[in-house]
Every structure is written in C-alpha cells, then in structure tokens.
Amino acid sequence: MKIIVIGAGSIGERHIRAFRRINGIAVSLAEPRTERAQQIAARYGCESSYGSIEAAPLGSFDAAVIATPANSHVSIGTACASRGLHLLIEKPLAASIEGIEKLIALCESKRLVAAVGYTLRFDPTIVKLRKFVQSGLAGQLISVRSVCTHYLPNSRPDYKEAYYRVPNAAAGVILDLSHELNYLEWIFGDLSVEACRRAQVPDLNIADEAVADMWLRRSDGLLAQIHLHAVDKHLSRECYVVGSEASLTANILTGEILIERRGRAGERIKCASERDEAHLDEARDFIDAIRERRSPRCTIGEALRTLQVSLEAMKAPLLEATMPENSAI
C-alpha cells in the first residue's frame, strides 16, 4: 500500500515514523520546505518527496495523511478523495464546517475510509478508562472533568512561526486541544455546551484563546467540564470521573488510573505505553479499516461532531487575561 503524508512538521513526522514501522507500507511525503523535506525523507527512508500536493501524482497513491494547518484540511482532503485516496486527517478536522458535508458525501460515494487523528482514542489509559466506565465500575455516573494544561513556549518552542498566529486556523486551545472533548464523547456520548469562558493572553501572541473552561451536559443530565490552559507551567492531562460507586482519576501522562471506593484503599492501575504507541495503533487501525472495509476508530462524522461543539463553545466572548506589569512569557 502506498501512502503520501502531506505536511512534514512535527505531527507529520510522527505519522511518517508510525507508517514506516508497518510492513508493506511505502511512504512518500509532500512538504514545501525543501530542506525539511530532504531531512525527513532521508531520516525515514521515504520513497518519494514532493514540494507541493500539486506536484505529487495523487492517483498513484492509495491513501493520504493530511498533517497541514486545520484551515487547509478540507480543500486538501477533497483533492485527495477526488482521486480516490483514503484519508487520515489530522485533528481538528477543520477550522470551520464549510465544505465538510461535501467531503463526507464524496468519501461515501467513493467508499473511502475517512479517519481523523484523535490519537487519545488509542491511548492505553483512555482505552482502559472507557472500559471501566462501560463496565459500570463507577456506578451511576454523576460528573466528569477533563484537564489539559501546558506551557506553550516549552512544549512547542516554534509556535510563533506556526499556525498559532493566524486567526481561524485552530490557534486557540478549544480547537488545538480538542482531543479532550473528542475522547469524552467517545466514552460518554454526545455532549452539548451549556457555557464557556475563554481568554486571550496577549503576551503569548496567539490569535485566539489561551485559556478556556467549558461546561457541558449530556441529555440525561450527566455534567461534564473541560479545562484547557496553554500558559500553565504545570504540565497535566487528566480525566476525573465521579460515580455513585467509585471515583476514577486517569492520568494520561503517567499512564495510571486511580480507583477510589467508599471505605476501601485506593487501587492504582498501570496502563503501559511506549513512545509513539498511540500513533502506531492509529496507523494500524487506518490500514486495517481500508483492508477490511470498515469504519476507523474516529470517523470523519465523529470529528465533525467535535468540531461543531467546539465552534459552539467559541461563540463565547474572547476575554483578555490580565497579567502583572513586570511579567513576561
């Protein structure tokens, strides 16, 4: 099977690294930065390298991985699907809903697999948490809270040269960190926005919110909250589930789930994970979905739902977080 990865930034490189580990997969790339393209192609033994999608013979590939800025996903995806390529689109699906329904219809008419790269659906800790919840371990569900905090200048030192300075390019945390909403809906079902508070941090110099709190509700009353922060020096990624029988704390970074029950000592469950394991599992799922003619773990329709809820939250006014006069990022 021949795959072309479009965009060879840090995420594109992860996809290339993952697919190169799968037997029988030939990987090419399309990347306009000549030096970067040459480095990645040589590092991973890519079959071919092209300076643009227009220069690539799309009809000679079976599938495309789209790892470009979010506001280009739909147009590139449509171009690839028109040539009969299966799609793995990096998250978020897009920066707006324009053109997505047509892309979905195109993929359905050509019987193409269209997956979206919400890799936390493959994270062992989230997979185990989902199994616990679905087994009824927590009892009657009461509330769930997801937290993702990081310090953007540390986690992505080149962020000012990337899409974070461009309005409507998924620069804010609600879209950039939409993994949290996506895995919550994977575990708990559809959620609707009740309220959102989001704020820009001017010194960070990104076009949209750097801090966001979202309050959501499931149709049966289950409460959910998501806290996202791109200026927090404390790195965290956790999910807290409260039920009538147990409380579950899933720490994605340490790969551990703490189960706490009334009158009993807490039980810690380790979820082993290796570097790039989620991306490798995602790549395998995509290949298997193509070969088996089945749906991938995260479909384009599910990613559209994540995008719609995110955009609803982004209707909240963009506030400005105040900082002390002598502080600097």
CATH of the domain at 156: 3.30.360.10
Query: Is the Cβ–Cβ distance between 62 and 51 less than 8 Å?
Result: no
83 plus 105 within the same structural domain: yes
Residue 229 pairs with which residues in a beta bridge?
A: 149, 211
Question: What is the predicted pLDDT for the residue at 160?
Answer: 77
Strands 267-270 and 223-229 turn out to be: unpaired
> Which burial class, exposed, middle or buried, applies to 5 when counting CB atoms under 10 A from its CB (0-12, 13-18, 19+)?
buried
Strands (E), 101-159: 114-117, 141-151
In a domain, 198, yes or no: yes
| Claim to verify: residue 99 and residue 247 sit in the same structural domain | no
Does 329 fall in a domain? no
Domain that holds residue 19: 2-119+280-297
Number of domains the chain contains:
2
What residues pair up with 284 in beta bridges, in sequence order? Answer: none
List pLDDT tens digits, range 99-139.
999 999 999 999 999 999 999 999 999 999 999 999 999 99
pTM of the model: 0.94
Q: Which CATH number covers residue 9? A: 3.40.50.720
The pLDDT of residue 278 is 94
- Tokens 């930034």 correspond to 9
Order across the sheet with 267-270: list the strands. Answer: 267-270, 256-261, 246-251, 231-243, 141-151, 223-229, 211-217, 192-200, 318-320
Instruction: Judge if 315 and 202 occupy the same domain.
Output: yes
Residue 17 in 3-state DSSP? helix
pLDDT for 324 beyond 60: no
Residues 60-106 pLDDT 10s: 999 999 999 999 999 999 999 999 999 999 999 999 999 999 999 99
pLDDT in tens, 205-251: 888 999 999 999 999 999 999 999 999 999 999 999 999 999 999 99
> How many Cβ atoms sit within 10 Å of the Cβ of residue 233?
9
* Domain co-membership, 158 together with 225: yes
